[in-house]
Structure 1
Amino acid sequence: MTVMARHKIGLVLESLNLPFRNALRLAGTLGVDGVQVDAVGDLAPDQLSTTGRKEVRHLLRSFGLELAAVGCPLRHGLHEAAHLEGRLARVQKTQTLAYDLGARIVVTWPGSLPQADAPARTIFTDSLTQLGRHGDCVGVTLALAAGADPPAEFSAYLRTFTCGGLGVQIDPATLLLRRLDPPQVVTMFADQIVYVHARDGVPERPDRLFEEVPLGHGEVDWVAFLGALEEVAYHGWLTLRRGPCADPAGDLKAGASLLRRLGA
């Protein structure tokens, strides 16, 4: 019996640790539907001209790949006043870049949620409001990496926004690191989830630190996790991500195969 796929499966291109074109060529052989790329270096918004953006789209098509999302790494959170305007401008340019390249998701970590009565909370809220509205305008959702804050608190906070350009990105390995139960967190965020990273890990114990491992070799219950995503009607991307290791391509290919076997 053929299992109907519910998700597109991608990988974070930087996991392959190769130059962009070589990484795309390899990704096209690993059984995934698309890739996530970081908007840095030659792919930074200010570096990629209109012609360059067309060339990237052509490259993706030539290797049979879609652009799942664009990553926007930030060195400082959106609650820190110093140089904030520059960070906001960078995220907004990345949102526009993502749309131009065919993606509808930008992934970033905004920083930890400040205390409700702290001045930084107002800065944080104003920043997300500005970015959410820009996302509405360009047709791109900002996926905020979850896990640093209590899920129920972060979920309630995000529900106070009226703009539609904000959502949550979750990663079950990060949740394990925070001693959270991934399926329960999925249930808490529910329809706020707009993007999912697929990583596995072994939680920290008295005799060892947290360790990221290949998908299926850790303590993430993938059947329960995928079932929870189905319960909340999340049918978006599952994007494999792998930290430094001996064989990232092999691990990512095996991870994609595992997700397919599980009916993802």
Structure 2
Amino acid sequence: MRLTRIGGPTVLAEFDGWRVLIDPTFDPPGRRYAFAASTSSVKTLGPAIPADELGPIDVMLVSHDHHADNLDDAGRAMLPSAGHVVTTTSGARRLALPHTHGLDIGQTVRLEADDRPALEITATPARHGPTLLKPIVGDVIGFAVRRAGESRVALWVSGDTVPHPALRTAAAEMDVDVAIVNAGGVRFGLTGPVRFTMTGAEAVSLLDVLAPRVAVAAHYDGWSHFRDGEEGVRAAVRAAPQAVRERVRWLPDGVPVDL
């Protein structure tokens, strides 16, 4: 598998002839975006690769469509050109594109092509903050991507999530090759100590349960709402058990890395 870090949550994964783009965000930095309940964040870093230099994309995985740090204007403009878009059921209704597949947690879609093995993509548990705030924060999913007919997960994407029992149960049950885990510890001034994504320490704890062959951190920089950030993730990895440390790979910006 080849991964290219583009910025924020956006990673290009290439394997078995498939080109899969995760949470496309390609707007330039500097703009403030509004989120739910009067919260907002400024994008501080632009994409390492412009959208028009990526080439054709077979699948775009959109963990949720309603926050600009996971799907911004330039990323949204790319959706019609993808072969498939996979997102939440509610997101598919909002996007209203004919090639969009909406999934609830636990549901699977099979994607086929004449010249490559079929893929099965299953929505995995994600919760973008405390349970009581779900009506405000909205639906989010992760993705388990398998070669059709195989039980092993070739690629798992956590999506934006905090730790919760369903996530840990799913992590314990999956056999994962490559995991992309969103961290950064998102908090807002208006919501005080409440977090909306995992800290580095929480991501490390999850990886200890998941035990993938390779783990990659994502979505920990490039926005003003990260409180743990890159240093928090790196510090947590340095303090992690050796079995976790040996699995983590840090991707350079814009450079394809073969795993």
TM-score scaled by length of structure 1: 0.40
When Rg is computed on C-alpha atoms for both structures, the one with the higher figure is 1
Higher relative contact order (CA 8 A, sep 6+): 1
Return the structure number with greater strand share.
2
**TM-score, normalised on structure 2?**
0.40
Between Structure 1 and Structure 2, the one with more helix by share is 1
